[in-house]
């Protein structure tokens, strides 16, 4: 019983709609971004991509690409500073149109013009993890804004992303590709012409991010 209780206590939960409205409030995020731009973009990216925190923190500007005419984020270990959890983590994700409307591509271009290489250049690794400071910050931030359950962490964006796409009827093999899970039925290359990019974009575009003003 003690083991089961421990597992239940440590299990991460998804965010509900009310939670998302609180942690994805643009006024609050812009206030936080006065100190670090990543405080604005990381929660939005986590919600819109379902990517792991470290995957987002270690992005380089050249990981923002255009594929088949679609702006995308490349999750890869092209640079020596980047690490993947496993081989299936290597993937390409279409960028949600709402992020583009909010100015994400403009932010990327501004970072490029500054001659920085990493997308969030002011992040510093601690314990070999660039996500250490963002994880600690997000814990304080979501608590401050009324999301107090300790099982709701930054990783909850990933759980929520998966739950929402499953509820929307997204095919399991496509969902696994989006979040970087192993799928034995996938026999085509990650960057080949057979990437189901249109289906991926449709799935992501159909996701209501529940961003508030």
Query: What pLDDT score does 194 carry?
Result: 63
The domain defined by 2-181+193-205 folds into hpI Integrase; Chain A (1.10.443)
The count of other CB atoms within 10 Å of the CB of residue 134 is 24
The span from the CA of 167 to the CA of 69, in Å, is: 28
In the chain, what are the domain boundaries?
2-181+193-205
Task: Give the pLDDT of residue 187.
Answer: 37
Mean pLDDT by 10 residues, the chain (213 residues): 43 95 98 98 98 98 96 96 92 97 98 97 92 97 98 98 97 94 53 73 96 96
DSSP secondary structure, the chain, as one string: -HHHHHHHHH------HHHHHHHTBHHHHHHHHTT-THHHHHHHHHHHH---HHHHHT-BGGGEEEETTEEEEEE---STT---SSGGG-EEEEPPHHHHHTTHHHHHHHHHHTT--BSSTT---BTTBTTHHHHHHHHHHHHHTT---TT--TTHHHHHHHHHHHHTT--HHHHHHHHT---TT--S-TTSTT--HHHHHHHHHT-----B-
Among residues 168, 171, 180, which one has the least CA distance to residue 207? 168
Q: Which phi and psi angles does 61 have, rounded to 5°? A: -60, -30
Question: Tell me, what's the pLDDT at 128?
Answer: 85
């Amino acid at each position: 019983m003690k083991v089961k209780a421990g597992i239940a206590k440590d299990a991460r939960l998804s965010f509900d709609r009310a939670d998302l409205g609180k942690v994805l409030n643009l006024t609050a995020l812009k206030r936080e971004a006065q100190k670090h731009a990543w405080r604005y973009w990381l929660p939005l990216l986590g919600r819109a991509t379902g990517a792991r925190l470290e995957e987002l923190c270690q992005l380089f500007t050249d990981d923002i690409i255009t594929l088949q005419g679609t702006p995308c984020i490349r999750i890869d270990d092209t640079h020596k500073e980047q690490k993947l959890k496993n081989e299936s983590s290597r993937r390409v994700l279409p960028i949600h149109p709402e992020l583009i409307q909010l100015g994400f591509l403009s932010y990327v271009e501004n970072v490029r013009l500054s001659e920085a290489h990493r997308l969030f250049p002011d992040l510093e690794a601690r314990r070999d993890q660039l996500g250490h400071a963002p994880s600690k910050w997000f814990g304080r931030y979501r608590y401050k804004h009324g999301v107090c359950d300790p099982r709701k962490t930054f990783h909850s964006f990933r759980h929520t992303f998966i739950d929402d796409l499953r509820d929307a009827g997204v095919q399991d093999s496509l969902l696994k590709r989006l979040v970087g899970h192993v799928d034995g039925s996938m026999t085509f290359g990650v960057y080949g012409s057979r990437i189901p990019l249109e289906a991926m974009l449709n799935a992501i575009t159909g996701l209501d991010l529940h961003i508030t003003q």
